[in-house]
Structures are given as C-alpha cells and as structure tokens.
Structure 1
Amino acid sequence: MATQDCAVSKAANKKETSGQFLNVSLDIAVTGKTGSGKSSFVNLIRDLSDDADGAAPTGVTETTLKRTLYKHPTMPNVKIWDLPGIGTPNFKANKYLESVKFKTYDFFIILNSERFTENDIMLAKEIRKQKKCFYFVRSKIDIDISSEQRRPGFNEQDVLDKIRKYCVRNLNELGYAEVFLISSVDLGKYDFEKLQNTLTEDLPDYKRSALLQAWPVCSAATLEKKIKLFEVLTWAASLASAGITVVPVPGTSVACDTTIAFLFLLRCYYAFGLDDRSLKRLSEKVNKPLLEHRAKSKFANAIQKKEVTTIRVCASVVIMSTVADLLSLFPGVGSAFAAGFSFASTQCLLKEGLKELADTARVIRKEAGLDTI
C-alpha cells in the first residue's frame, strides 16, 4: 500500500510539473507621470476595457499612489505592476527604484502622453545600470491624430513621424532610444504589435512563451505566432504524459492524459481570444454576432461548458491510454511501450484540439472583418 501511495504521489508531482511549462512567471512594470495613460495601458495588456470588473482605475488625477499589482485575468502567473510616476511627492527620483522594489520586474514600460522628461531619462539610466530592459511608449496617439485631422493637408503618417522624432529627440542623451506609439482605444493600430514583437525578441525563451500567451490578439500575425507557440508546446505536454505513464498505477494514464489535454486546450482557448469576455468585447467593437461561430467547435464548447470528460472525444485515444496503463504494469519493456503509447495518444488529441481552436479563431477574425484572408 505504501508503495502504491508513493507511486500516486509521484504521478501527482508529474502532473504538477506538466502544468509548469505553461505557467512561467512574468512581471511587467508600467510607470509614467500622472495622466499619461498608465492604467489604460495596464488594462490594454490584460485585454480589459477600463470599466470592466478588475480593471485598473483610470482618471485625470493621480490614481496610482502606490505600486499596484494586476494579475492577467486568464494567466495569473503574468503580473502587471502599475507604478507611481517617478518624481511624485511619495516617490522621489533619487529613491524611486528602491521604493518600487526594482528587482521584482522583468522589464519596464516607461509611458508618456506628451514628451519624455528628465525624470524619465534618469529612470532609464538607472534601469540600464542594473542591466534590465526598458521601453519608451508614447500613449494616446488616437487623440493626437483626431486633433490633427481638422488641419488642412492632414497626413496621418506625417503626424506619426513628427511625434516619433519629437520624442526621440528628447531622449538623445541615452543614445539610440526607440519609441513605440500606441493607442489604448485600438490595439490593432500604430506600434502595439511592434512593441509585442520587440518584447518577445528581447525576453528569454521561457519568458517569451508567457508574454505571447498573455498578449491580446491584435492582428492575424499575432494569432499565428500564438498558434505556432502551442504547436511546439504540444511536445512538452505529450512528454509530461509519457512521464506519468511510467508510474505503474492503473487509471493514471487515462486520468492524467485527459487533465493535461484539458489544461493545455484551455490555455489555447484563452490565448486565441475564444472566451466569452473576449468575444463579447470584439462583437461590440465590430457590431457583429460572433459567439455563434465558436459554437461550431466541439473543443471550444467543451471548454466553455467546463466538460472535462468531453475532451476525450476520440475513442482511440481512450483505448490507447488504457493500453498504456496495462503495459505500465510490466517492468522494463512494458513501461517503455506504455510511455510511447501515452505520448502518441496525448499528442494526437492535442494536435486535433489545437487545430480546431486555431481554425475557429481564424474564422472569427475573418467574420469580424479584421482579416481578409
């Protein structure tokens, strides 16, 4: 009995480990002066509207009086920290990094809705000394464009170039400094996708995975990057399944394969924007009903209704997992065959589910008029 308990404990540990490859922690710091749009940017990364439950409070007055943690609504391991602006009464410039617990964060977003100030430059220099990354983001571009549209001879690209050059000129003492122009109203415009690409290139692989899963789907290219990421991760999930099968406890393979598959596909479901909140928000934006397209996916329906057992949609997968359980009872060769069966069955299920969810997300974007192909 004690041996079996130990085996079950090992299986449970394998299950826990199998979930960790999708749950790397990532801490993002967002800072800027009062009124720069920090809170709206925090909400944008979390794919929340400013009036949604759990959204960071926004306003024209100073709403961030202390560093505030906002977890991503579908990936709690990704944390966005709304930091008070440098140079505010409670956060003096010379003590700022110490006050906001600098070592907590993987990188900094320095936000401003006008020009970047001496305090912004000083903060960037200190971050650079500590060998961490920072990114200058110029917010509220939509407001600038709207204002300039009333002028004769308006040209949007000329306005964007003028704003970018003005911001970069203020940062020349840092050497080369790239500035990303964004609008919290429309994440599909300006440099939001470019910012995402830059962040993913700069982060180590395991952090890159966390960022890409959490980042809102702002374009067809972003969706395809997410799909490719999960195609790679099917191997990690399948290997985790094979590792569990080696533990000779009947029923372990079937139960764990199903759990691994459900957790993996649940992450795809949220990353592709197929959840109720994301689809309703998109429907309101484009003024089209979109939930009906999700209903055509058996995997999306099972996840939406939290029907874990429905994920075992292929009888062949269940049979293969059962065979794997039986083979694992035989030492040596049996365990090796069991691991192979479990790997193949889990990968088959994950690939099928991933393809269906990805195709569903593509169709929804096309129906929303966001992608023409």
Structure 2
Amino acid sequence: MDIPHDDEQIAEIKKELQTNGSSSATAKIQTYLDKLDNVQLNIAITGECGSGKSTFVNAFRGIDNSDKERAAPTGVKETTIKVTPYPHPNYPNVTLWDLPGIGTTKFPADKYLKLVEFKRYDFFIIISADRFRENDVKLAKEIQKMKKKLYFVRSKIDHNIRDEEETRGSEFNKEETLKEIREDCIQGLKGRVESPKVFLVSSRKLHLYDFPLLQKTFQEELPAHKRDALLLALPNVSLEIIIKKKETLQARIKYLAAVSALGAAVPVPGLSFAADIIMMVFTIRQYQVTFGLDSESLQRLAQTVRVPLDELKAVMTSPLAGNEISKDLIIKILSSSVAFLSLTTAEEGSRFLPIFGIPAAMGLSFLTTYKSLKMFLDMLAEDAQKVLKKALGLNTPL
C-alpha cells in the first residue's frame, strides 16, 4: 500500500480543497486515515516443534493461552499442523502467522518456504527453546536470500534463569547467565547466517529480558507505515512503547481536526459540534484500547501480573478512568473546560459574521477539536503509564 509522507499528504489535501472544495478534501482526509488504519502487516512465526511458537503468538497479541476461541493452541507436542493466521484482536490488519515446525514430515526443510507461501510475510521470527539447529540455519539462509528481515528469538528464558539459579546457588549471576546464553546462540549461527540477531524472550513475562529491544529493532527496520501499524498493536510492556504510541496517535490529530474544520464550513448551527462529538467518542475509544485501558485488556493484565484488578484501576486518575466512553461522558468532561466552552461559543457566534464568519468558524473548530483530542490522549497515556508502573511494581515517578 502506497502511503504518502506527512508533508506530501498535507500538500495534497490543500490542493484538493482549493480545486474541488471542502467535501472532496474531507473525503481525501478520510481515505488517508482509513489507509493508515488498514496497513497490512504479516509476521511469520516459525521454528522447530515445541519451541514455544504458539505461546509467543498469543503473548504478542495479548491473548491468554487458555482462551479457546482466539488463542493459538499450545502443548508439548507439535500443535501447529498447517499455516494458521492469528489476527490481532484490536488491530486485525496486523496478523501473526503460526507456521508449522520446519523439518516435519509435511513441511521438510528444503520445501518449507514454498509450502508456507514465503512472499506473504513482512518479516520472520525463528524461535527456539534451546539452541538453533540445522533446520533453523537452512531456513534463515533462504530467508536472507530473498532479502527479507529475520530475527532469532530464544524462548523460555525464564525457565533457564530459574534452572541456573537452582543449580549455581550463591554463585548465580543473572546478567552473566543471560550473556552466556545469548553468546552461545550467536556463536552457533555465526559463519552460517549473515549478521544474526538473537533476542532472549519469556513469552509469559514480555516486559523482561530482550522483548523491549526486539520491538525497538522492529521500529528501526520497518518502513514507516508498517512501523506505525506494528507499534499500535504491540503489548504495553514498557513506558517507551506507551510514549511512542502517544506520539503516533498525536500525529494523526491534525487530520481529524481538519475534518472538523471542513465540517464547520456547513452553515448549520450545532451541526459541526454534533459531528465532532461523534468523531471524538470513536477516536477516544480507539485510544483506550490502544493503551490497554478497556475493561478486557485491564482484566487480562491483572491475571497476567497477578495484581488485583481494583488495584490497577485505583491508580488511574483521569475523568475517563473506569468509565465507558460515551457521548454524554465526553460532553460532561468538555463542559467543565472554560477554554472549550469559550472556543465553541466563539465558533457558533462567528457563523453570523458576514464574509469572514465561515472561515473563522472553521479555524475555531480545528483548534477546539485539536485541543480536545490532545487533552484526552494525554489523559489516557498518563493513566496507561500509571497502570504499567503498578503492574510491574515500579515506584519511580512519571
């Protein structure tokens, strides 16, 4: 999907407005936003059977292994017998593909890439529970020949750490153990795979070890539009992810405010405000889900980190906290803002001014919508950081 850069898109919208009017410009903005929301990202998860592929797929999507309807099945035997797509529950444009273990009877190594339809995927993650083996190396070489991105994930690291601690006792050093495991994996791949990147991950504790580094690497190496699609779908396992999500969502507010401004060009009192509120409710609900603050996400987080749900909810301080996002709630919060009331009153009043009334109303509508959405985004991002700190037992100030 070809998506213009931000500056190019703004220039195109201005040209559309000047050439074909506000309705056409509004449609162009909406088309652009729809494209952003529907960027397809396909991630292939592969490796030998029993490596923890399915558990990783579930953790990445924020789905518990016990969720019979949406989870990739897990077990001690090979449970993936065919290429299976698992769309993200909140961002279905992002799909993780659980691929059968390489080297099985139905998927021999020499025919593997063809059988799993290699060209479909944006990048590959090869997972192993111990060391990467010959089949992993063969697959990696073929992937690199095709100029696709490839990452090695050494799974079940929490098990290794626990076993080493029990074995070494007082001589155990966590950082040294992690370094040894990583270097052992890299040495096993060096000379056989070009510039191997190995990440140590516990699917049950994604906030630990190398998962934050893995997601940072994704961000650095994916094209911009794919990068944003992945970022919004990532689980909130670090403060950095929350901050980057906020930045990405904030960059889109100007387009929503522009739609509001163009809607204000229609000389019907109250129509612009009514349309803006509907748009805000929809957008703020998206923010809530993206930051994991909806009821389902909070419940899942509470179960994962074993912190009572009420304790997670208690740290949220915004007026949105613990409430269903509705038109009445948004109007109530906005009505308590003197600045919002002043801008809205000025917008409606300006409509009756000759010549300059409509342009003034459009400018005020843009400003009102921009400031309002930014306020709600700030609220939810701050609540998300507080919830994550509580979930991870962090006591440092924001």
Q: TM-score, normalised by structure 1?
A: 0.86
1:196 aligns with 2:215: yes
Deviation at 1:228, TM superposition (A): 2.5
Q: Name the CA shift for 1:295/1:135 in 2 (closer, same or farther; >3 Å).
A: closer
Q: Which residue of 1 aligns with 2:183?
A: 165
After superposition, the CA RMSD in angstroms is: 3.0
Deviation at 1:190, TM superposition (A): 0.6
Contact (CA 8 Å) 1:19, 1:260: kept in 2 or not?
no
Q: Which residue of 2 aligns with 1:89?
A: 105
Greater relative contact order structure (CA < 8 Å, 6+ sep): 1
Taking the aligned partners of 2:176 and 2:316, their CA distance within structure 1 comes to: 44
- Identity score, percent: 42
Q: Which amino acid aligns with 1:298?
A: P
1:179 aligns with 2:161: no
Taking the aligned partners of 1:301 and 1:249, their CA distance within structure 2 comes to: 35
Q: Name the CA shift for 1:301/1:91 in 2 (closer, same or farther; >3 Å).
A: same
1:118 aligns with 2:118: no
Deviation at 1:311, TM superposition (A): 2.2
Q: Name the CA shift for 1:104/1:247 in 2 (closer, same or farther; >3 Å).
A: farther
Q: Name the CA shift for 1:77/1:300 in 2 (closer, same or farther; >3 Å).
A: farther
- Please list every run of 5 or more consecutive structure 2 residues that lacks an aligned counterpart in the other structure: 1-20
Aligned length: 366
1:344 aligns with 2:363: no
Taking the aligned partners of 2:30 and 2:205, their CA distance within structure 1 comes to: 39
1:65 aligns with 2:102: no
Q: Name the CA shift for 1:364/1:334 in 2 (closer, same or farther; >3 Å).
A: same
Q: Which residue of 2 aligns with 1:268?
A: 287
- Please list every run of 5 or more consecutive structure 1 residues that lacks an aligned counterpart in the other structure: 1-5
Q: Which amino acid aligns with 2:173?
A: N
Deviation at 1:46, TM superposition (A): 0.6
Q: What secondary structure, in the 3-state scheme, does the structure 2 residue paired with 1:225 have?
A: helix
Q: Which residue of 2 aligns with 1:28?
A: 43
| 1:165-205 alpha-carbon deviations (Å, 9 max, x no partner) | 11111211223212000001211111010000000111112
Taking the aligned partners of 2:47 and 2:288, their CA distance within structure 1 comes to: 33
1:370 aligns with 2:394: yes
Q: What secondary structure, in the 3-state scheme, does the structure 1 residue paired with 2:151 have?
A: strand
In the alignment, which of 365, 376, 381 is matched to residue 353 of structure 1? 376
Q: TM-score, normalised by structure 2?
A: 0.81
Q: Which amino acid aligns with 1:145?
A: I
1:50 aligns with 2:59: no
Taking the aligned partners of 2:99 and 2:52, their CA distance within structure 1 comes to: 12
Q: Which amino acid aligns with 1:363?
A: K
Q: Which residue of 1 aligns with 2:16?
A: none
Contact (CA 8 Å) 1:237, 1:264: kept in 2 or not?
no
Q: Which residue of 1 aligns with 2:93?
A: 77
Q: What secondary structure, in the 3-state scheme, does the structure 2 residue paired with 1:314 have?
A: helix
Contact (CA 8 Å) 1:253, 1:325: kept in 2 or not?
no
In the alignment, which of 304, 311, 319 is matched to residue 298 of structure 1? 319
Answer with 103-112 or 117-126: which moved more.
Answer: 117-126
Q: Which amino acid aligns with 2:83?
A: R
| 1:133-183 alpha-carbon deviations (Å, 9 max, x no partner) | 111111011111111112232222222112111111121122321200000
Q: Name the CA shift for 1:84/1:338 in 2 (closer, same or farther; >3 Å).
A: farther
1:273-352, aligned counterparts within 5 Å? 273-284=292-303, 285-288=305-308, 289-293=310-314, 296-302=317-323, 305-312=324-331, 313-315=333-335, 317=340, 336-352=359-375
Deviation at 1:86, TM superposition (A): 2.0
Deviation at 1:68, TM superposition (A): 0.8
Answer with 12-21 or 64-73: which moved more.
Answer: 12-21
In the alignment, which of 155, 174, 196 is matched to residue 156 of structure 1? 174
Q: Name the CA shift for 1:352/1:119 in 2 (closer, same or farther; >3 Å).
A: same
Deviation at 1:84, TM superposition (A): 1.1
| 1:36-85 alpha-carbon deviations (Å, 9 max, x no partner) | 00000001111122112411110111111111111111111211111112
Q: Which amino acid aligns with 1:352?
A: M
Q: Which residue of 2 aligns with 1:3?
A: none
Q: Which residue of 2 aligns with 1:210?
A: 229
| 1:312-358 alpha-carbon deviations (Å, 9 max, x no partner) | 33246588568768978999855543432222111111111011112
| 1:200-232 alpha-carbon deviations (Å, 9 max, x no partner) | 111112111111111111122222222232232
Q: What secondary structure, in the 3-state scheme, does the structure 1 residue paired with 2:261 have?
A: helix
Answer with 239-248 or 342-351: which moved more.
Answer: 239-248
Q: Which amino acid aligns with 1:349?
A: S
Contact (CA 8 Å) 2:165, 2:172: kept in 1 or not?
yes
Deviation at 1:101, TM superposition (A): 1.8
Q: What secondary structure, in the 3-state scheme, does the structure 2 residue paired with 1:120 have?
A: helix
Q: Name the CA shift for 1:227/1:306 in 2 (closer, same or farther; >3 Å).
A: closer
Q: Which amino acid aligns with 1:367?
A: K
Taking the aligned partners of 1:18 and 1:331, their CA distance within structure 2 comes to: 34
Contact (CA 8 Å) 1:33, 1:85: kept in 2 or not?
yes
Q: Name the CA shift for 1:336/1:86 in 2 (closer, same or farther; >3 Å).
A: farther
1:218-237, aligned counterparts within 5 Å? 218-237=237-256
